[in-house]
A and B are shown apart, each in its own frame.
Chain A
Amino acid sequence: MTPADQDSNRADVGSGTPPVIAPGHTFGSVTDKISAIVLTRKTPIGWWFGFLIAFALMNVMMVAITYLFVKGTGIWGINIPVGWGFAIVNFVWWIGIGHAGTLISAILLLLKQTWRTSINRFAEAMTLFAVACAGIFPIIHTGRPWLAYWLFPYPNTMGVWPQFRSPLVWDVFAVSTYATVSLLFWYVGLIPDLATLRDRSQSPIGRVVYGMLAMGWRGSARHWHRYETAYLLLAGLATPLVVSVHTVVSFDFAVAIVPGWHTTIFPPYFVAGAIYSGFAMVLTLAIPIRAIYGLEDFITLRHLENMAKVMLVTGLIVAYGYTIEAFIAWYGGNKYEGFMMWNRMTGPYAPVYWLLICCNIVIPQALWSRRVRTNTKALFVIAIIVNIGMWLERFIIVVTSLHRDFLPSSWGMYNPTIWDWATFVGTIGLFLTLLFLFLRFLPMISIAEMRAILPEAKVDEDLRVI
């Protein structure tokens, strides 16, 4: 990075690229503007509208899961040969979305990309909620979810232990570690802001609740020093973790011998896909939120454009993954692999495959144009298309490989039922419900970090001699 680039990351940027924070803000104004969203007495009517829709959708999930517990997984479209249906498709989709938060928070922090500051908090929240949605699916897919704790190693009277050679057990460790570390990262980042809310809250309940959550944070220089050390170390730990999680998820497939799954390209291509869909989800949420809450000063076009660029790059890596997958299926000379790819492109699920190529590869090429990248409406539409495309990708990977594998006599078709759809749509409801609660009760932008990127935060002792 050249000094000029570094300079452009600072708040006081000149011409050309839009700044990461609009000029004219002070410590006080940044604090007031962000904390007012939470502490303001009146909840916007739009919030209630959105929350109620999300809450209703979440109840669809509750009904679907209740019925599942009563009847069993037979209410879903899964069968033999397609034993992995929507549950796994949705699990991989949600966990992929959950990757952007940690990527933005940890990797961009280590790379000193200050533009991450105004989007990291809600990207981390989004990660947590997405991981929560993801976690539901493997548990309910076990068939007897009340025994899901058997996946963890604990001394038991049966004398049995988990099979540690299985990627499914690796997955339990990877996802639960990821959920825990993401929660820690998010909470540590929140502590100084919770102290701000404690000090600024007008209501006694607010003061007590935020005060307890802030744990008595008082901004001491010694505390800040350890805090920053802890935050950087967490970022350093979360960086290999985020890469490992989707790698382990891809092992669930790649370690199997099913054609279309048994591929060494899966880990890197899954990680790229996860970042791709994660950034698409951050954009899907950031664009309406900044408009509704009037946060254009803090989440500027610069942020949106940078995220669009990350999407473009990871989208191209994903495109490379698809290409190599198809190439190796032909070049490898394995007739099962070859048939799998031919079946994907021309078989019964071909329309889904081509729709996926269209959503993930063709349409996002519009992001090469700066005009598209800085047009919020176009960006929003492309982000939604990528979200859909990434879901279709997981559907294709799971279903087309299973439904026609080695023996034609055991071929079959997979058709999701209404309960599959209800559970999936329901988790979107859960995700949005949690997101609305977060927007209402916690600062969606890190106040302390925003103060630190203001020009006046730079200490220059020569200016003041006592």
Chain B
Amino acid sequence: MRISSTLYGLMAEFDDANALVAATRRAHDEGYRRMDAYSPFPIEELHEALGSHHSRLPLIVLIGGLCGCVGGYALQYWAAAIAYPLNVGGRPFNSWPAFIPVTFECTILVAALSAVLGMLALNGLPMPHHPVFNVPRFALASRNRFFLCIEVKDRKFDLESTRRFLETLEPREVSTVAD
């Protein structure tokens, strides 16, 4: 495991989305698991080709929304019925129909914040630097090129055989990614 301290992985560059999806699928069939594919726009098939599972994000958003809903109502109940009870025209202190709009807004607010912060947290962002940026041509991943990177950490990774495997996928180029 001498190489692992200086090497992050091997990266193949492709011209189009079709090639990347096909290559990712092949690599997965070959038994590679610690890898990632990079594209300039979302490609639905790519996620499946990597063998990834469903995201936990919707659950996080649901929990966030419920917290906002309960919290929003509790805030109003506490303010209007306990902390500062004010008799307005003989209406009950817990005048729930009047509390619905704010409860709704709090639900949406917390759910939306959970969606964004949850997405960033699960993605491990912000992360200003990452080894893939060490490959100069990777700058094109945000323009028109497609990349597949197999990481050193993969059980099957071997510098020679993995490189040979990537070459069979007809990439434009295979480059080593420094860690």
Q: Do A and B bind each other?
A: yes
Residues of A within 8 A of B (CB): 26-28, 31, 153, 159-165, 167, 169-170, 173-174, 177, 180-181, 184-185, 187-188, 192, 195-196, 198-200, 211-212, 215-230, 233-234, 237-238, 240-241, 244, 248, 251, 448-449, 451-452, 456-461, 463-466
Cβ–Cβ contact A181 & B55, under 8 A: no
Within the assembled complex, what's the spacing in Å between the Cα atoms of A187 and B144? 22
Cβ–Cβ contact A180 & B112, under 8 A: yes
Cβ–Cβ contact A216 & B130, under 8 A: yes
Partner of B26, one of A170, A460, A466: A466
B104 contacts partner chain A, Cβ-Cβ < 8 Å: yes
- Within 67-122 of B, Cβ neighbours of A (below 8 Å) are at 75-76, 79-80, 83-84, 86, 88, 91, 95, 98-99, 101-102, 104-106, 108-109, 111-113, 115-116, 118-120, 122
Cβ–Cβ contact B36 & A220, under 8 A: yes
* A195-B142, A220-B37 given; 9 more Cβ-contact pairs under 8 Å: A31-B142, A161-B79, A180-B112, A180-B113, A215-B120, A233-B57, A237-B115, A461-B18, A464-B18
Cβ–Cβ contact A164 & B79, under 8 A: yes
In the bound complex, residues from chain A placing their C-beta under 8 Å from that of B58 are: 229, 233
Partner of A230, one of B41, B47, B116, B141: B116
Within the assembled complex, what's the spacing in Å between the Cα atoms of A27 and B132? 21
Within the assembled complex, what's the spacing in Å between the Cα atoms of A457 and B146? 12
Q: Which residue of A lies closest to B82 (CB)?
A: A161
18 CB contacts below 8 A, A to B, read A160-B84, A161-B80, A164-B98, A177-B109, A187-B116, A188-B119, A196-B142, A221-B50, A224-B41, A224-B47, A227-B119, A448-B41, A457-B41, A457-B43, A459-B17, A461-B22, A466-B22, A466-B168
Q: Which residue of B lies closest to A195 (CB)?
A: B142
B19 contacts partner chain A, Cβ-Cβ < 8 Å: yes
Residues of B within 8 A of A (CB): 16-19, 21-26, 36-47, 49-50, 52, 55, 57-58, 61, 65, 75-76, 79-80, 83-84, 86, 88, 91, 95, 98-99, 101-102, 104-106, 108-109, 111-113, 115-116, 118-120, 122-123, 125-130, 132-133, 138-144, 168-170
Cβ–Cβ contact B123 & A196, under 8 A: no
Cβ–Cβ contact A251 & B101, under 8 A: yes
In the bound complex, residues from chain B placing their C-beta under 8 Å from that of A223 are: 123, 125
Cβ–Cβ contact B142 & A219, under 8 A: yes
In the bound complex, residues from chain B placing their C-beta under 8 Å from that of A220 are: 36-38, 123
Known: A170-B102, A192-B142, A459-B21. A221 touches B83 (CB 8 A): no
Within the assembled complex, what's the spacing in Å between the Cα atoms of A240 and B101? 12
Within the assembled complex, what's the spacing in Å between the Cα atoms of A312 and B78? 46
Partner of A184, one of B105, B106, B112, B126: B112
Within the assembled complex, what's the spacing in Å between the Cα atoms of A220 and B127? 13
Known: A164-B80, A173-B102, A233-B115. A224 touches B128 (CB 8 A): no
Within the assembled complex, what's the spacing in Å between the Cα atoms of A222 and B104? 32
Contact residues of A: prevailing secondary structure: helix
Within the assembled complex, what's the spacing in Å between the Cα atoms of A218 and B37? 10
Within the assembled complex, what's the spacing in Å between the Cα atoms of A161 and B120? 35
Within the assembled complex, what's the spacing in Å between the Cα atoms of A451 and B146? 13
Known: A216-B125, A216-B128, A228-B42. A466 touches B23 (CB 8 A): yes
Cβ–Cβ contact B84 & A159, under 8 A: yes
Known: A159-B84, A164-B76, A181-B112. A227 touches B42 (CB 8 A): yes
Cβ–Cβ contact A452 & B42, under 8 A: yes
Within the assembled complex, what's the spacing in Å between the Cα atoms of A28 and B41? 12
Partner of A199, one of B26, B50, B120, B139: B139
Within the assembled complex, what's the spacing in Å between the Cα atoms of A84 and B115? 38
Cβ–Cβ contact B115 & A234, under 8 A: yes
B103–chain A nearest beta-carbon distance, Å: 9
A327–chain B nearest beta-carbon distance, Å: 28
Q: Which residue of A lies closest to B111 (CB)?
A: A237
Known: A27-B144, A227-B119. A161 touches B105 (CB 8 A): no
Known: A26-B144, A31-B143. A466 touches B105 (CB 8 A): no
Within the assembled complex, what's the spacing in Å between the Cα atoms of A459 and B43? 8
